[in-house]
Structure 1
């Protein structure tokens, strides 16, 4: 018998002009002074920013809300094709929780996050298994035994450069200053 994973082809979630609804979300929402913009085009999404550590220390690009939520339950991971700068970034995934929306009552919202490194030259392809995503609220890990990541209810994707890693500790790959990250494509892979 052939396993289901072998029968499922990768799914292109977003690429090229499909990033057109993505917007910057920076530490200015919490009193910081970093600035960043997201630009989309035929080659994908570019995040250009000036990261200021004091008062926040993060910049990001995030998707619009997916309605209906993305159902990626037939897949085991997200794969990102990036033109990086040698920094460490985080992928943050928001999900509808199926528990009467209780996680949406958490200020800042619950996100499922995982760190990844980029090369300073050429294309970096990273694969982030769903099982590696960690529950987090505002860069702080959360122990939530009743909640599990649900790949069938993904409502938003976000790429961040933050002074905090996915474990809540300082990100060893964080650097203040000018930043440029290209995101060519995001796929769901079996």
Structure 2
């Protein structure tokens, strides 16, 4: 049986992703020296809000960037843009080239975000019926342990999703890590939203549909 033809890999988008998230030291140094491209200071929660996307933001694309399966040779593509008093996470997720995820992630907060004294994260969003993931990291490195929570959306309906810190699963590349340390909420380095074909440890996302997706996010808060 003939093998399916692999789609062309977008090397330029791969390098652009690594550059935005400052994973190549030399490129990062040049960015800082020539363009002054350091991300804005981390948000300071006001009345529990970390990101209030209902208000226009000129720094959205300086803080948040697409992190898709192009980093593994895939062809999925996503974006995060202001629309309808919210931030729209949208794009096309494809399982071609053994891929299957699209995501948007913040650049590392510097200094880290301190969320001590709070129970968890609250999302206010409207989705398309698919199951998404929210990820938090407390380490500086690019490919580090993430604390992850999966949630289902209701098609075209605004909902609130509460994510207790103590129920977030420690995960490395979609595999749970049984002996991981507890999340350090005093040192949050990045936040991430993801649509993935996979759940954890090889299990498939039961509500995943390849193709176009849409997730409107009005706010990311703490409670």
Q: TM-score, normalised by structure 2?
A: 0.72
1:144 aligns with 2:187: no
Q: Residues 143 and 78 of structure 1: is their aligned pair in 2 closer, same or farther, counting only changes over 3 Å?
A: same
Alignment map for 1:100-111 (pairs within 5 Å): 104=141, 108-111=143-146
Ranges in structure 2 where 5+ consecutive residues have no aligned partner: 1-45
Give distance in 1, aligned partners of 2:221 and 2:202.
Answer: 27
Q: How many residues align?
A: 172
- In structure 1, runs of 5+ residues without a counterpart are 1-8
RMSD: 1.9
Name which structure has the greater RCO, CA cutoff 8 Å, separation 6+.
Answer: 1
Give the number of the structure whose residues are more often helix, by fraction. Answer: 2
| Deviation of 1:42 (Å) | 7.2
CA contact (8 A) 1:15 1:43 kept: no
1:25 aligns to what?
67
Query: 1:109-151, CA deviations, whole angstroms, 9 ceiling, x for partnerless residues?
Result: 1100010011102202100000111111111111224x11111
> Is residue 86 from structure 1 mapped to residue 129 from structure 2 by the alignment?
yes
Compare the two structures and name the one with the higher strand fraction: 1
Per-residue CA distance 1:152-184 (angstroms, 9 max, x = gap): 110000000001114541110111011111111
| Cα deviation, residue 45, structure 1 | 1.4
> Counterparts of 2:82 and 2:175 in 1: how far apart (Å)?
30
Computing the radius of gyration over CA atoms, which structure comes out larger, 1 or 2?
2
Give the SS at the match of 1:181. Answer: strand
1:30-57 C-alpha deviation (Å, 9 max, x unpaired): 0111111111357231111111023210
